[in-house]
């Protein structure tokens, strides 16, 4: 199901870790819509997933993406509850006018990432 939605939204699978997927997209709105579609499609088979979306500069090390943007995205995902798609304020600002709605969840500390981050639930 995840790979089908990645193809539909033109996402590129970069890595898997346990039961998680890490993917890149050509824009944050496409990433949010893909995450929402995955969450909804697995709900139909009785599973609850969580997703996090962030955007930023990444580095390539030994064929794997790395950098603060990767860490932020992973930490945002890990702070999501079952069935949630969470995004950073950076992502929310970039998709203004896309029709995607958000609920503000406030500031959160993300493990291993400096500072606090404003987090929003995509609706």
DSSP state of 113: S
- Taking the C-alpha atoms of residue 94 and residue 34, their distance in angstroms, rounded to an integer, is 16
DSSP element (H, E) containing 89: helix 89-94
Note the pLDDT tens digit of each residue in 7-44: 999 999 998 877 888 999 999 999 999 999 999 999 98
Domain layout of the chain by residue ranges: 2-122
Phi and psi of 72, rounded to 5°?
A: -60, -45
* CB 118, CB 89: distance < 8 Å: yes
**Report field, pTM of the whole predicted structure over 0.85:** yes
Q: What is the per-residue pLDDT across 72-86, written as a single tens digit (0 to 9) for each? A: 999 999 999 999 999
CATH number, domain 2-122: 3.30.70.1230
Cα separation, 105 vs 14, in Å, equals 28
């Amino acid at each position: 199901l995840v790979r089908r939605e990645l193809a539909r939204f033109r996402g590129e699978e970069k890595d898997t870790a346990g039961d998680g997927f890490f993917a890149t997209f050509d824009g944050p709105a496409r990433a949010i819509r893909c995450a929402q579609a995955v969450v909804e499609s697995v709900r139909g088979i009785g599973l609850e997933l969580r997703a996090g979306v962030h955007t930023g500069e990444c580095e390539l090390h030994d064929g794997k993406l790395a950098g603060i943007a990767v860490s932020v995205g992973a930490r945002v995902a890990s702070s999501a509850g079952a069935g949630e798609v969470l995004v950073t304020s950076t992502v929310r600002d970039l998709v203004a006018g896309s029709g995607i709605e958000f609920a503000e969840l406030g500031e959160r500390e993300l493990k291993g990432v400096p500072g606090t981050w404003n987090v929003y639930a995509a609706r």
